Structures are given as C-alpha cells and as structure tokens.
Chains A and B, each alone.
Chain A
Amino acid sequence: MTDPAPTPANAPVVPAKGRAHSLLGEPKVWFCAMGLTLGLLMVIGLLSLIIVEGVSVFWPRQVLELDVKDASGKIQTVAGEIRKEQAKRDVSPDATIHHEWLFFTGNKDVTGSAFRFVDAQAIADQRMPKDIIVAERMEYGDSIFYPVSLKLADGTEIAASEGSFLAKLRAKIAEGNARRDQIHTIEADQIGEINDRVRKLEIERRKAITDDDTKLLAELDAARADVQKEYETLAAKAGELRKQMSADVLNYRLADGTARQQAVGDLLRVEHPNAMSWWEKFGVFLHNGWDFLTGAPREANTEGGIFPAIFGTFVMTLLMSVIVTPLGVIAAIYLREYARQGLLVQMVRISVNNLAGVPSIVFGVFGLGFFVYSVGGSLDRWFFSDVLPTPTFGTGGILWASLTLALLALPVVIVATEEALVAVPRGVREAAMACGASKWQSIQRIVLPSALPGILTGVVLAMARGAGEVAPLMLVGVVKLAPSLPLDFTAPFIHAERKFMHLGFHIYDLGFQSPDSEAAKPMVFATTLLLILLVVAMNVAAISLRNHLRKKYAVSTF
C-alpha cells in the first residue's frame, strides 16, 4: 500500500520536468488506491465496532461496589458494573469538566431502574468484593447482591457462609431450569395439542348446529368433555410444577443493606464475576452466547435470546428465494430468448431496471394493499369464514412478506439471468441446433446449465437484499413479538399465515422502541452482528454452490 504504483520495467524515460507524474498516471493510481483503502477502512471499522460491541455483551464484567456521597453528604453504597464513562456535561460558565459513569446496578424490581449515573467525584471509596453475586432472573433483569441464606422447601436453611452453599444453590437452580423445560413441554406441546383438538371440535360443532344434527352434536359434546378432562389433568400437573418453582427461597441483601427474597425458580444462573478465572469467564461467555442464539426473548425483548427472529429471517429469506428464482428466470428466458427484440421488449427491460430503483417501502405498501387486504381478505372469506372476524390470511404473515420481498428482488434476478444468458457463447447454441435440438431443448439442456452460475449470482444478490430489508416487512407481517414459529411440529407444520420476527426489525425495535434504551444498546450490537453473520452464511452457501456448478459446466464464460 505504501508503494501503489511500481514503475514498469520498460517505462519510458521521464520526458520533461513537472509532467512526469501525470504522464505515468501515478496520481491516478494513487487515487484509486486511496479509494480502495478508504472503502476497506470503513468496512473494517464498522465490522470491528460491531464485533467488539456485539461480542463483549456476553463477557462477564467486574462488579464494583462504590460508596457515593449524595448532595447532602450522606454516603450511599451501590454495587454494579461500569457500562460507560463520559465527561459530565456542565454548561455553567465556571464549570470544570469531570467524569461520570453509567453504572448498571440491576435490581430493577427494587429501584425501578437498572441504570444510574455516578459522578466520579462523589465516590468516596470503591472495592471489588469477591463474594458478590450477579444473578440472571426470569423477570426484572439481572440482580446484584450478597447471598444470605437458602431456605429449602423442607424447612432447612443453609447460610451463605457454609461451604456447600453455592453448590447447593446451583443444583437447585439447575433443578428449576429442568422443571421449567418440563412445564414448557407440558404446556406448549401436550396442552397445545389438546387445544388444537378443541378448536377442531368447536368448528365441527358450529357446523352441526347449522345443520341441526342433534346426534352429532351430542357426540361432539361428549368428545369435548373427554378432552376437557385430559386438559385438566395436564393443567394440574403443570400447576403443581409451577408451585414447586417457588418452594425454595433465596434470602439476600443488596449492597445498601436492603434484605430481599427471591424464589429460586425465578433464577436462571448465578455467577461470582469478581472471583472467576479467565477460563471460567470464557465458559460463561459461551453459555451466554448460546442462550442468546437459542433462547426466546423475555421482558419485552430486552432480555433472553432472539431465536424466533433468527428463524423468522431464515425462513422468510428461503421462502423468498424459492418464489423469486423460478419467476425471475422464466421471465428472463422469455425476454432474452423468445421475445422479438424491439421497442416493446426494450421498454419492458427499462421498466424492470426501474423497478430495481423503486424504494422498498413502496413495495411494502403494495404488498399490504394487494396481498394482505385483497388476496388475504378474499382467502379468508372463501376458506376461513368460520373463524371471521379473526383474520387468518387477511393480516400480515410470513407468506405475504416473502411474496412482497420476492417482488422487490425480482429485477435483480431478471437482470442477472439475462446477463448470464447473453454470456453463453453463440457457438454453443449453434452446435446444439446443428445436432438437431429444438430451441427449447437447446435452452433447457445447453444454455441454462452453463448460465446457472450467473443466475445463482443473481439469486445470491437477491437473498442478500431480501435478508437485510426491513421497511416493507413492517407493513406485511413482521411484529415485535411472535413466539410461535412459522415452522413447527403441529399440523400442518408450515404456518404461512403466521406473523414472524425478523432480525432487522428486531434491531430497529430494540434501538428505538425498547422501554430502557440503555439496557437495549448492547443487544442492538449483538443482533446486528448476528444479522450480518446470517447474511454472510447464506451468501457463502450460495457462492459455494455456484462454484461447484461452475466447475461442472466449465464452458460458461460468466
């Protein structure tokens, strides 16, 4: 990079002073190199910012305990993690600049806010206590505290000073986590299946009432009662498990001395961040990262994982590619191979190119008006009239979102396919024709395979565009919370009418709509990192597929 323009060996002797550089073109080469460097720097800078901020979210931080003097001179003890250090803004004319910390104190259930600012000058003393615990909870976010004792369901109480305390607490938490999974299985799978049956019975019942079939009606009522009994057994079982969740109680005190209690079943994990070795921290880091990838969001998306969003993005992009590829390829084949090249085709081509420049939100509006309201509304009236006014397809859903994005990505695929078709050498076609192949046979067996790598390039670009698009999705089916996935194990397995979560929208939602913008900031970076990784992974998969095909049909010049 320091010497971007090496002089070629046979370079002419410099003709005249002053014009030398411009004649050799050196400044222009320099200019190009600068452009590349600038571009690279921006990409690297952006990526490293996202990676550093996104990855550090999961690394356990040190907990500081501070004695802070308040305005009246009283000392107050707070414990927490430093999240940001900044110069305190003071605009009065004689102000001196000093620093303040954004301090994560947790314990939102006690103080109402998990963050506070601490003026660095007001700190009287600071320490790093080894025995302070950071606990992840189901509700109200993290808690930072000193343990006092663990009161078990059978009445025994283990003091925090006992050696077995932490092991016992961890064992109880593991028990609770297992129980939570068990409750989830009962409630989501077994009760879910029962509810499904109830709904079907209900629809049949309604039909029986309109048909005035008293015999069927009685049968249905009996079936309903059976199902109800089954439900009650399961619900009682789940209720029993839920009760067990609050049987063990942890007593603890906060840094300022407030005594609190917490059911062990509400705890997800406890750590001693100040007493951990690097490897232990690394273990926690991996664990946190894994939870983030595979967990469901909690607490209005500010806690927990983002699995539904990852899955939603993935399914939507896949569905979109499946829709857009045949459509785009067929259109391009007709345009390039069959249509008479004239004014009309030229105009169609110009329109397609212009379509690529239409703002994505316009596609969103079109999708809402056409797919959701017209097509979806009609589908509901024809096939799902028994559940109206509750809409089935007449509201945004993953199918409509995929179709809208497919329209959006269509020009990309058409243009790329056309280019790929043009690039197939004329000789190859003529050879096929000479062998007696019909036009379609030569397209199908000779031209298309050799154009395939180029077509796939278009699909890759379309996928990348689709996965990163947010604005149109907001109109046609992306929502803040949709814990039920568009693909699952209850019939009919693919739920094309369901709304879904999307990583891009999740970033927007966390950044601009979350209840505590401070708490959400790290999640924004982590989610951004993930979205980029997902797009890269899908592109790499498509590119390797393309390379594989290119080797197979080496004749292509694309």
Chain B
Amino acid sequence: MKLNRMLSRIINQTVTNSRRSALAVTALAAVAIAGNANSAPVEVDAAIPEYKTVSGVGGNLNSIGSDTLNNLMTLWAESFKAAYPNVNIQIEGKGSATAPPALIEGTAQLGPMSRSMKQEEIDAFEKKFGYKPTEIKVSIDALAVFAHKDNPIKGLTMQQVDSIFSSTRKSGGQDIASWDQLGLSDWAGRSISLYGRNSASGTYGFFKEHAMAKGDFKATVKEQPGSSAVVQGVSSDIYGIGYSGIGYATAGVRAVPLGTEAGSFAEATYENCLDGSYPMARFLFIYINKKPGAAVDPLTAEFVRFVLSKAGQQIVIKDGYFPVPAEIANEALEQLK
C-alpha cells in the first residue's frame, strides 16, 4: 500500500497539469503493478469510504461540461439530492470544451471533462483568478471503438485505428477504407462507414491525441452531437465503426478489442484499463475552482466527497464506467483541503 501511494504521488508531482493526460495511462499502470488490480466483476475498491451526510448544505449547484459524463453527473445528482433535499442541482452536458469557459465565467461550480484541460484553457483560467483550476479524477473510462454487433472483427491495432479514422496517418500506416483491408475477406469491397464526435467533445480531443497522434480526421467521419448518437449510428449500420465512452455501449454494438501490436488485443475491461494493456484508458475529471489555501464552498466539496465515496463509485459502475482506485480517490480528497 505504501509503495502504491508513493508511486501515484511521485507521478502526480512530476507530471505537470498539461501533460497529465498523456501520462494518465502510465499512472494507471503504475497503480496496478503495485498490486491493486481488481478482478471481474467490477467492484468498488474496499478502501473507499462510505459517504456521511453533513448538515447545513444547500443552495444551487451548477455543472456544465462533458457529454460523456452527462449521465453520470445526472445519476450522481439524483443520489446527492436524496441526501441533501434542498440542494438545487442543474446539469448541462454539451461537451468538455464548454466546461472551462463556464468555470471562468463563474456560470458553473463543477466542470466535468472527459479530457484534461489544455494549456490555453488553464492559462485563461489563471489569468482571471490567479491560480490554476483543481482537477479531480472521478472515474476511469475505456474509450471504446464500437462496431456493429454482427461484425466479426477480432481486434484492431492502434495503427489500424489511426489508418481508419485519420487522413494524415501520423502512425505511419496505409490508408484503410474497406473492411477487407482489415482481414474480413467476406466483406470484400464494403467500405467502412465512420462515426465520430463533434469538436467540442473531450472524447473527440482524446481520440485525436491518443489514437491519431494529433493528426486530422478524415472528412468522411460523420460527426455526431452526442456519444449516444455515435452508438446508435453504428448499431444501425453494419459497416459502421465509431468511438465513444464505454458507458454508452448497448446491445446493438460491440467494443472492438484494441492492442498496440497485431495479435495482442485487449478487451475494454476494468483490469485491462488498470494494468495498461487496453491502450485507450483515460480518467474522467471534474474541474473545480479552488483558491489555494482557502476552503472550497461546502456544497461543491460535499458533492466531490460524495462522488469519491463508495455510493458515488457504485453509481460509476451502474453507468457502465469504471471506479477509481482508493489511492486516487484519497489523493483527490486531499486536494479539497
């Protein structure tokens, strides 16, 4: 345990805010190697405490940000409201890019994001307030590449994913436009139909950065307004392929196993996210405005505490995402003080 904590602390100290997302997977891997991987079915880390309600919490709580976290925020809000009946929670989720302006303008106290803030966004925040926004890791997501449920494909390498979605192909592969190029000989001449998110989405940003090495999307990607729309598109299009958070999986699609090299594919499961073998694991964040040395307003603090409690993390599992390990939860709670 001690080693565990030290590792995550060291990683978090050395990694600057802007580069944190790039190393999120490494941080996860480190936690897992230290002996904390859970086995299926997904369960909340036993070391995460139960939530205890406190008195005198009330008022308006606004959340503006990620679409990936939209349903999770709603579920959290429903349970949080059961604990604090007079809290008035309002949730908007139009994309991660809407979170930083909302925090800067003060129109929201919570900024859920499915990618970490970009340097420009942090700079804009710092310019207004004089300090950086506080990043809280609330959940783990396996950004999944979805194909139609009847699609027989075994798995994709990251280079193949890049070749399918990218026009610039920074990973160096050849252009892939039809299914037979991926080894489905029965599907000769069937071109791949691409579904993706709009550019306000953190999922879009994460995918661009991690799957396509910041290359450009093909012009043929059908940009959808929400993650659910991507999944719906793929489930009604047998030649379709698209990406979104694992929490949006339905019966009509399957998450394609991914790997860094051919033959070693990893399913999008909790263990594979923790040990780093699934290449597109990421943290989901909530950003808050916390002045260093001063306490966060009690409402925001209690909400974050609830999210990182056993009940809050149970809701993460209910929505189809993965809970955070206790070390990460504790570290986030430490940040609140």
Contact = CB atoms under 8 A, between A and B. Distances in A.
A113 B224 CA distance: 23
Interface stretch (B54-62, B154-162, B169-177, B272-280): B54-62
B88 A484 contact: yes
B264 interface: no
Nearest to A193: B86
Interface stretch (B14-22, B24-32, B202-210, B228-236): B228-236
Given A300-B71, A517-B231, A512 B226 contact: yes
Contacts of B108: 395
B251 interface: yes
Contact of A113 (B148, B250, B297, B319): B250
Contacts of B248: 515, 517
A117 B71 contact: no
Contacts of B133: none
A502 interface: no
Contacts of A483: 81, 88-89
A513 B71 contact: yes
Contacts of B224: 512
A119 B257 CA distance: 23
Interface stretch (B90-98, B118-126, B212-220, B322-330): B90-98
A82 interface: no
A454 interface: no
Contacts, number: 158
Interface string B81-111: 1100110111111100000000001111100
Interface string A368-391: 000011000100000000011111
Contact of A117 (B190, B252, B289, B320): B252
A192 interface: yes
B55 A480 contact: no
Contact of A300 (B74, B86, B190, B235): B74
A113 B251 contact: yes
A235 interface: yes
A513 B227 contact: yes
Contact of B150 (A88, A109, A512): A88
Contact of B74 (A93, A395, A480, A517): A480
B77 interface: yes
Contact of B58 (A198, A228, A300, A389): A198
Contacts of B231: 517
A218 B238 CA distance: 71
Given A301-B74, A480-B92, A513-B226, A199 B106 contact: no
B150 to A, nearest CB: 6
Contacts of A112: 320
Contacts of B107: 372, 391, 394-396
Nearest to B149: A117
Given A92-B186, A199-B58, A517 B90 contact: no
B90 A389 contact: no
A101 to B, nearest CB: 11
A389 B289 contact: yes
B225 interface: yes
B93 A513 contact: yes
Contact of A394 (B86, B106, B150, B251): B106
Contacts of A391: 62, 106-107
B229 A481 contact: no
Nearest to A302: B71
A211 interface: no
Contacts of A117: 149, 251-252
Q: Size class of B's contact patch?
A: 35 or more
A145 interface: no
Contacts of A480: 70, 74, 91-93
Task: Give the interface centre of B56, B88, B225, B226 by most chain A CB atoms within 10 Å.
Answer: B56
B85 A191 contact: yes
B253 to A, nearest CB: 10
Contact of B250 (A139, A194, A482, A517): A517
A188 B85 contact: yes
Interface string A106-143: 00010011011100000000000000000000011000
A184 B82 CA distance: 9
A372 B329 CA distance: 35
Q: Size class of A's contact patch?
A: 35 or more
A515 B141 CA distance: 14
A19 B1 CA distance: 97
Nearest to A498: B88
B67 interface: yes
Contacts of B67: 513
B228 A513 contact: yes
Nearest to B74: A300
A195 B58 contact: yes
Interface in A158-215: 184, 187-188, 191-192, 194-196, 198-199
Contacts of B127: none
Contacts of B226: 512-513
B50 interface: no
A91 B190 contact: yes
B75 interface: yes
B242 interface: no
Nearest to A100: B150
A390 B70 CA distance: 21
Contacts of B90: 479, 481-482, 498-499
A517 B190 contact: no
Contacts of B337: none
Contacts of B227: 513
Given A480-B93, A517-B232, A89 B148 contact: yes
Contacts of B88: 482-484, 498
A231 interface: yes
Contact of B251 (A116, A231, A511): A116
A213 B81 CA distance: 35
Task: Give the interface centre of B85, B93, B106, B224 by most chain A CB atoms within 10 Å.
Answer: B85
Interface string A270-310: 00000000000000000000000000001111000000000
A515 B247 contact: yes
B333 to A, nearest CB: 22
Contacts of A89: 148, 150, 238
A515 B319 contact: yes
B55 A228 contact: yes
B78 interface: yes
| Closest 8 A/B residue pairs (Cβ) | A187-B85, A195-B58, A195-B86, A395-B107, A92-B186, A512-B226, A115-B251, A300-B71
Given A198-B56, A517-B229, 12 more contacts: A92-B186, A195-B58, A300-B70, A300-B74, A390-B60, A395-B107, A480-B70, A499-B92, A513-B71, A513-B226, A515-B71, A518-B252
Interface of A: 88-93, 102, 109, 112-113, 115-117, 139-140, 184, 187-188, 191-192, 194-196, 198-199, 228, 231-232, 235, 298-301, 372-373, 377, 387-392, 394-396, 474, 479-484, 498-499, 511-518, 520
